[in-house]
Structure 1
């Protein structure tokens, strides 16, 4: 049987290191089947290339933000049953980490060639208006957003260490804001928070493990405010042993949740910083899309 050709989509803003990694992955894929590499600079361009890739195996070379875009695009085209390959290129790559996809570009290419299709969950996110999107990995509010914003400035120098460094800084300097959090129609928190997290995967910020997530649910974590002088110790403990080891972190699980603020909600969704209306509704969307993961025992996401 003739091997299916590959279409590799990569972000045109990638640095020299990422471009070398793309070249390594493309070279490995091309040993087995015709492989086309296209650099994209806008979501519209990305969507157009995906729409035209009917006969090709789609491979996304990028970080968590690129995968977020891929998920929205496939969902909009009603093609989430098509398994996509992943070449991790971001500074965090938490989705890849959480699904066992190697960070080495050639090893990741081998997963595209030899892996199996796995249907994985997503979070459907809606506001009180017409906005809807899917979350591939995690959504953060509070200190997580401040950390992500600071990490963007540090990435050129610190690379994958940017998020831990930014987290330590914002942990010492950040404030807290009131949120009303509901899980399965029960109000579980109504007051100030240092951070609020809605998790499908156990890690964020390049492998910082937060909790052992529960398959088939959204893990909701609220970190209560602490005095500024105590925040560095809290962040250090969380980064070393996870949030579950800190008494300031409170955790619930469910398939539906919501979060409400008095004003605009600043969010970090799969590494993308966004603003939303004051209320967001979240619901688990089982087997929402399909990715290629390392071969092994079958497991449903």
Structure 2
């Protein structure tokens, strides 16, 4: 790659996006790369730019933003030879943690410039790529209640601030899960299907989970009573997740009509999900010596 060929795509709506374009360009320059910065505010423009990079055969493209921005980029880059360079500018920066990219801008830029390219798994839900997790229940309701200003001001603390308000009026879900292991009927406040090791900033999905294990980890929090939800949540944060099983494919159906679901932080309504892992589908710039299975 010659100087000037590398594109930096920055989401101006991410937590640090508006103020990070100059520092990001400077950090990449200090690491030995000259880039053309492309600042976008909507997903369609970002997709057009990424598609153009893939079509011209770019070896990699750098994306600056949060998990939602990276997830949308991965949806275009998965299955191609164009690798994703990560500059974490979001709130939780979950995917960056899962692939070992430092949260410090200068160090992340050095990974892009001097690291290695490796292949990692992605999840797919109804055909769309996700990097971290798909969630139904309480966390989706919290994500739906968050606004950009609150996330910019409080960062990860915005989640408990809003969660305390949402928790007491949240109703449990009735779900049917089907995988190669059989069918499971659930009454729970929270279902989480994770692709990587981390699912919400520094919170880990399950021991041994990684973006290179060719599996999705299915976690269930509680049995429909708030006290069981709280107990499961506390256990999870202490390293004892409510992991029911791991699978490479999963079907989820709601039994009471549409429910809110969060796909890498993007909230939508749905009644049926078809999930699967796509092993090694995404090429990513990672630190030298990085082993995704051991993060």
Which category describes the TM-score, using the shorter chain as reference length? 0.7 to 0.9
Q: Match of 1:96?
A: 96
Distance 1:224 1:169, change over 3 A: same
Q: Are residues 256 and 42 of structure 1, via their aligned partners in 2, closer, same or farther at CA, if it must alter by over 3 Å?
A: same
Are the structure 2 counterparts of residues 173 and 72 from structure 1 closer, same or farther at C-alpha, using a change threshold of 3 Å?
same
Instruction: Work out the CA distance in 2 between the residues paired with 1:83 and 1:274.
Output: 28
Does the alignment pair 1:121 with 2:121? yes
- Normalising by structure 1, we get a TM-score of 0.85
Aligned mates of 1:265, 1:28 — CA distance in 2: 42
Which whole-Å deviations, capped at 9, do the CAs of 1:5-57 have from their partners, x for residues lacking one?
32111113245x44333322211222423311111122221122123333654
**What are the within-5 Å matches in structure 2 for residues 153-164 of structure 1?**
154-164=150-160
In structure 2, the gaps of 5 or more residues are: none
User: Residue in 1 aligned with 2:198?
Assistant: 203
Q: Distance in 2 between matches of 1:235 and 1:255?
A: 24
Partner Cα separation in structure 2 for residue 235 and residue 125 of structure 1 = 24
Query: What's 1:282 paired with?
Result: 275
CA gap of 1:265–1:226, structure 2 versus 1, over 3 A, is: closer
Change (3 A) 1:120 1:206: same
The equivalent residue for 1:242 is 239
Shift of 1:230: 5.7
For 1:147-158, list aligned pairs within 5 A. Answer: 147-152=142-147, 154-158=150-154
- Which of 244, 253, 256 pairs up with 2:249? 256
CA RMSD of aligned residues (A): 2.5
Query: Aligned partners of 1:141, 1:243: CA distance in 2, in Å?
Result: 20
Residue 70 (structure 1) shift: 0.4
Q: Per-residue displacement from partner, 1:158-201 (whole Å, max 9, x unpaired)? A: 112222444455444422010001222511x2131111111112
1:117–1:292 Cα contact (<8 Å) kept = yes
1:41 and 2:41 correspond: yes
1:267 aligns with 2:272: no
- TM-score, normalising length: structure 2: 0.86
CA distance in 2, matches of 1:295, 1:41: 32
TM-aligned CA deviation for residue 237 of structure 1: 4.0
Whole-angstrom distance in 1 between the partners of 2:225 and 2:290: 46
The corresponding residue for 1:176 is: 172
Structure 2: distance between partners of 1:251 and 1:171: 23
| 8 Å CA contact retained: 1:172, 1:231 | no
Query: What is the distance in 2 between the residues matched to 1:164 and 1:208?
Result: 13
Aligned to 1:139: 134
Q: 1:229 to 1:190 in 2, by over 3 A?
A: closer
How many residue pairs get aligned? The number is: 285
Q: Does 1:30 align with 2:29?
A: yes
Structure-2 separation of matches of 1:280 and 1:229: 27
Q: Which moved more, 1:141-150 or 1:156-165?
A: 156-165
